């Protein structure tokens, strides 16, 4: 089974590899998959005041298609609002990278990683909002 | 374009040009059917087949009449296991095998299990070798066959064949060995090792694909196998079908060349394999050799590269042909069942690469491989969240060791 040119391109020149400060209140981190299953994706997003994703980084342990799926995911979500990013479906990734059926789980994992990172930023925002109201009511 | 380096010789080997030369006349003017007894085309073919039988038998210290031609080791294993089961089922219905066998042994055993036989699957130790005491105590009154491979295809571990053969002889149980990977790489003596049935294949020893042999002993005891294919009664009735004369000639000459050159090849290839392991260990932290370092085929090296996944590794050095125990390389989502049977964790099984060297590899290719594999491991570790986690848990000194 040969790899598609797009998978090879992302694998050989992955976009947005790296790390954002997970303690930054504007950074959301999602880690999905399990080493025993052969795939772990870590995807991080940084949002601005309008909840627009201004930066995205990833690290992936997995096959070439998993690396390509996460690379593509970071490329696509940059510049989108979190709500727009949530509209990305794994099938979009399958189509773009021409993934064969045995590699569909890689695209599912990438979608999950986006959702997990957004979930994390939303939880952070809720927590800080609660902390703010909490401190107001105390004063 | 970087030159292509082939390190997947346990999957298949290139045809030796000398073997091809020997085969060619049997595709052209010497096209006869070896079963045609009444004209010279038939005699020509029969003579070639007889010579090949001698050549293969000489590799095994067997008699020429004990060699049955097949389409390859999968068929040989099927005839040995299902044929013995069918022939001896009134004597007993128990067969013993072990967990790291090739699917061509495991699946026929599972088939028999669904048809009224009892199968015991021994678990090997961490190095991939079976325990002889466990084998001895597994042999029961109704045991008719023990099937244990000579050497493993994924890790290269060589089983204690003579000891197994001795044990089986003592208990009056037939012993079959799948010698696909060992044949042509290590000396085999069916007489001295107490082997009753032995499977081998042409394309693992620089011969053609689609041809193999099953050695079925005619004495001590005379082994009988019911046929799997029914037909014209060729091959002592054990394997009907017109003989693949060019293929058989190829297997014969591949055996002959291996018999002459095996000892020198093994020394040279072991040196290359050891250099590969040494070079990889010097340049990469946290890599692990799977299987056995002493009782092992000279050509096989199975390594797990922690924190990186096998298929992505292979993609990173695409001009080098190797195999991986990663699930991503198979249709199932399970990593290598061989490594799992050894107790290698799933995570490291996903990170495994099998390098299997061969007659045509050079020292220069090994140096190239060390460089390219190490560069890929480093690149993929830089993008591995597992490596990042591990590094965070380590001291500064070790972190520097990684980044050199």
pLDDT of residue A134: 73
Give the residue on B whose Cα is nearest the Cα of A34: B347
Residue from A57, A64, A71 to probe the interface with B (highest B Cβ count within 10 Å): A64
Q: pLDDT band at B330, cuts 50/70/90? A: low
Q: Is B352 left (phi over 0), alpha (psi -120 to 50) or beta?
A: beta
Alpha carbon distances (Å) from B150 to B178, B186, B297: 6, 10, 10
Q: What is the DSSP letter of B250?
A: H
The enclosing H or E element of B96 equals: strand B94-98
Using CA coordinates, name the residue in chain A closest to B307: A61
In the set A17, A19, A34, A37, the catalytic residue is A37
Residue B334 has what pLDDT?
A: 80
Residue B399, pLDDT > 50, answer no
In chain A, whose CA is at the least distance from the CA of B346? A36
pLDDT at A136: 62
- Reported as a single tens digit per residue, the pLDDT across B139-181 is 999 999 999 999 999 999 999 999 999 999 999 999 999 999 9
Question: Rounded distance, CA A135 to CA B16, Å?
Answer: 81
Question: Does B267 have pLDDT greater than 90?
Answer: yes
- Average pLDDT value for residue range B291-319: 95
Residue recorded with tokens 């925002």: A125
**What is the reported pTM?**
0.93
Nearest CA distance, A42 vs chain B (angstrom)? 6
According to the model, what pLDDT value does residue A2 have? 79
Tell me how close the Cα of A16 comes to any Cα of chain B, in angstroms.
10
Beta-bridge mates of residue B54:
none
Q: Provide, as residue numbers in chain B, all residues whose Cβ is less than 8 Å from the Cβ of A66.
A: 309, 312
Residue B378, CB-side half-sphere exposure with 13 Å CA sphere: 15
- pLDDT for residue B128 is more than 90: yes
Q: What is the pLDDT of residues A101-121, one digit of tens each?
A: 989 999 999 999 999 999 999
**Closest by Cα among B38, B159, B151, B162 to B102:** B151
Is the Cβ pair A59, B328 closer than 8 Å?
A: no
Tell me: pLDDT of B400 over 60.
Answer: no
**What pLDDT band is residue A131 in, cutting at 50, 70 and 90?**
confident
State the Cα–Cα distance between residues B274 and B276, nearest whole angstrom: 5
How far apart are the C-alpha atoms of B201 and B6, rounded to whole Å? 20
> Residue B304: what pLDDT?
97
Reference B68, options B59, B79, B58; nearest CA is B79
Assigned token pair, B402: 């990684």
Q: Report pLDDT digits (tens) over A44-67.
A: 999 999 999 999 999 999 999 999
Marked catalytic residue, from A47, A106, A118, A121: A106
Interface contact A39, partner B, CB < 8 A: yes
Residues of B with CB under 8 A from a CB of A: 307-309, 311-312, 315-316, 326-328, 331, 333, 335, 345-347, 350, 382-388
How many other CB atoms are there within 10 angstroms of residue A131's CB atom?
Answer: 10
Give the β-pairing of B174-178 and A53-61.
unpaired
Strand partners, A103: none
Structure token pair of residue A115? 């959702």
* pLDDT level of residue B369 (50, 70, 90 thresholds): very high
For residue B95, the model assigns a pLDDT of 98
- Taking the C-alpha atoms of residue B52 and residue B337, their distance in angstroms, rounded to an integer, is 36
Q: How much is the average pLDDT of B328-355? A: 87
As for the ipTM of the complex, it is 0.92
Which has more pLDDT, A135 or A123?
A: A123
Residue A98 per-residue DSSP state: T
Q: Please name the member of B326, B347, B388 whose beta carbon is closest to the beta carbon of A59.
A: B388
């Amino acid at each position: 089974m040969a790899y598609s040119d797009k998978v090879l391109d992302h694998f050989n020149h992955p976009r947005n590899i790296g790390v954002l400060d997970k303690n930054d209140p504007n950074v959301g981190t999602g880690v999905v998959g399990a080493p025993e299953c052969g795939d772990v994706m870590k995807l991080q997003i940084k949002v601005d005041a309008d909840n627009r994703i201004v930066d995205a980084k990833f690290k992936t342990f997995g096959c070439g298609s998993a690396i390509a799926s996460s690379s593509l995911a970071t490329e696509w979500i940059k510049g989108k609002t979190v709500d727009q990013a949530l509209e990305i479906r794994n099938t979009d990734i399958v189509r773009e990278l021409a993934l064969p059926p045995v590699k569909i789980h890689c695209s599912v994992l990438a979608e999950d990683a986006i959702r997990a990172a957004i979930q994390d930023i939303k939880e952070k925002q809720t927590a800080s909002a609660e902390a703010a109201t909490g401190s107001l009511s105390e004063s | 374009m970087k030159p292509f380096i082939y390190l997947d010789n346990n999957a298949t080997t290139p045809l030796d040009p000398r073997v091809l030369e020997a085969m060619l006349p049997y595709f052209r003017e010497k096209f006869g059917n070896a079963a045609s007894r009444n004209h010279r085309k038939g005699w020509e073919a029969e003579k070639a087949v007889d010579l090949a039988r001698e050549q293969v038998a000489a590799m095994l210290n067997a008699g020429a009449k004990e060699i049955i031609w097949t389409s390859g080791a999968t068929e040989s294993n099927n005839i040995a296991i299902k044929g013995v089961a069918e022939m001896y089922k009134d004597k007993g219905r128990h067969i013993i095998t072990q967990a790291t066998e090739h699917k061509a042994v495991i699946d026929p055993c599972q088939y028999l299990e669904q048809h009224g036989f009892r199968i015991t699957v021994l678990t090997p130790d961490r190095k991939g070798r079976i325990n002889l005491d466990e084998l001895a105590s597994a042999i029961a009154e109704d045991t008719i066959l023990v099937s244990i491979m000579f050497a493993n295809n994924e890790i290269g571990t060589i089983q204690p064949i003579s000891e197994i053969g001795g044990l089986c002889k003592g208990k009056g149980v037939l012993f079959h060995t799948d010698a696909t990977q060992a044949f042509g790489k290590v000396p085999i003596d069916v007489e001295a090792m107490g082997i009753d049935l032995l499977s081998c294949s042409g394309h693992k020893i620089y011969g053609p694909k689609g041809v193999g042999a099953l050695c079925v002993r005619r004495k001590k005891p005379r082994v009988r196998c019911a046929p799997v294919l029914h037909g014209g009664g060729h091959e002592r009735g054990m394997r009907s079908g017109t003989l693949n004369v060019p293929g058989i000639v190829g297997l014969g000459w591949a055996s002959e060349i291996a018999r002459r050159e095996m000892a020198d090849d093994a020394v040279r290839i072991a040196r290359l394999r050891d250099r590969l392991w040494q070079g990889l260990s010097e340049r990469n932290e946290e890599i692990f050799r799977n299987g056995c370092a002493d009782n092992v085929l000279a050509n096989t090296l199975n390594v797990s590269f922690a924190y990186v996944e096998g298929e992505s590794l292979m993609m990173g050095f695409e001009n080098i042909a190797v195999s991986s125990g990663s699930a991503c390389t198979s249709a199932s989502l399970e990593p290598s069942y061989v490594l799992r049977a050894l107790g290698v964790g799933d995570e490291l099984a996903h990170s495994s690469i099998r390098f299997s060297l061969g007659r045509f590899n050079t020292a220069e290719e090994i140096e190239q491989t060390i460089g390219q594999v190490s560069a890929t491991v480093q690149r993929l570790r830089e993008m591995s969240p597992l490596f990042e986690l591990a590094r965070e848990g380590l001291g500064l000194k070790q972190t520097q060791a990684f980044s050199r």
